Chain A
Amino acid sequence: MIIIFQCYGGTHTSVAAASIYLKRLPRRRVPQLSDLLALPYFDRVDRNEIGTLYYVGCDRSDNPVFVLGSGRWGAQIRALLTRLTSMQQQGRTFLLHNDRDDAVAVIDCFPTITGAVRLGGFLSRRLGLVAIGRPLVGLGILRAYHRFVELVESFEKDPGPYLL
């Protein structure tokens, strides 16, 4: 299975959720801000890179995990990917499902977003005020950390609704 954590910029909430999933961040306690800010790709993907899939690691079942920013077109991108994958199910030889292990799951991290994350992301990524924006995003994520853990655990419990 290919696992994709999707958010607006592919650099804040999706990276945090993917890191929880990959056990780089704890689940039973809120991590330190410095742990969050040190994550690869955290607040480090520029606007002109939105849409690129970034590999962030493999889970215990050796499934590759990616983060993806889709701007405000997240739902459209998911619909499009769903159509692309379903084309093979309609009998056309096509991409993604080349064998039975090649299912694709997309976890939309947009519901975890808070005002602080939005503001911090805007300051850091849009205005280039990294010194202010990055810690603000981090603090925003830490304040709503339980939401991220819930999202990840909901996916782990039942990946079905997330499969394309």
Chain B
Amino acid sequence: MFIFYYSTCSPFPALLAAISHCHPAISLGQAWAQALRWQRANSPLGKEALLIERFGQTSERDTVYLMSAAVPQPLLLRTLNSLAGLMKDRCGKELFLPAGPLPLWSGADGNAGVRPKEAFWKEIKALVEQTRLRVELIKKR
């Protein structure tokens, strides 16, 4: 299964979610540092830039993708969910899962903004856990 983490205008929240999903035991500090490194190496220039990148694989062999663009999360998630439903109808199985919504990142990329890092990380972890449960449920069907 393909799991998509999408965040608006900055890949940073999606990146943290992807890291957390692929490395469940990782600490906030390690995840933050890894996200910064990844972003420096891969992130496109500008908030409007479109990013779709394969991030890695989970221990359950699901593939995690990162997406970022200027499109608001609810709108894009509705489109992706519609597509996922369509593909399920056509293929008979659920191929991909758009995960979200992720919390908005108020600070500059990689720098702590108004939202404290710990609170932000907790929200990310909760969303990742929800996504894991959804994947588990889909696989049980």
A residues at B contact (CB < 8 Å): 2, 48-53, 68, 70-71, 73, 76-77, 79-81, 83-84, 87, 92, 94-96, 98, 102
Contact = CB atoms under 8 A, between A and B. Distances in A.
Contact of B79 (A48, A51, A98, A102): A51
A27 to B, nearest CB: 28
A88 to B, nearest CB: 11
Contacts of B54: 92
Contacts of A102: 90
15 contacts: A51-B75, A52-B78, A68-B79, A71-B75, A73-B70, A77-B71, A77-B79, A81-B83, A83-B52, A84-B52, A92-B54, A94-B2, A94-B95, A96-B87, A98-B90
A53 B87 contact: no
B33 interface: no
Interface string B113-135: 00000000000000000000000
Nearest to B73: A51
A102 B95 CA distance: 15
A53 B75 contact: no
Interface in B53-80: 54, 67, 69-72, 74-79
Interface of B: 2, 48, 50, 52, 54, 67, 69-72, 74-79, 82-83, 86-87, 90-91, 95-96
Nearest to A87: B52
Given A71-B75, A79-B50, A83-B50, A52 B82 contact: yes
B6 to A, nearest CB: 9
A98 B83 CA distance: 13
Given A73-B71, A83-B52, 9 more contacts: A51-B77, A73-B69, A73-B72, A76-B69, A76-B71, A80-B50, A80-B67, A95-B83, A95-B96
Given A53-B86, A87-B52, A95 B95 contact: yes
Given A92-B54, A95-B95, A73 B75 contact: yes
A77 B2 contact: no
A109 B82 CA distance: 20
B78 A51 contact: yes
B52 A2 contact: no
Given A80-B69, A84-B52, A51 B90 contact: no
A29 B48 CA distance: 42
B79 A2 contact: no
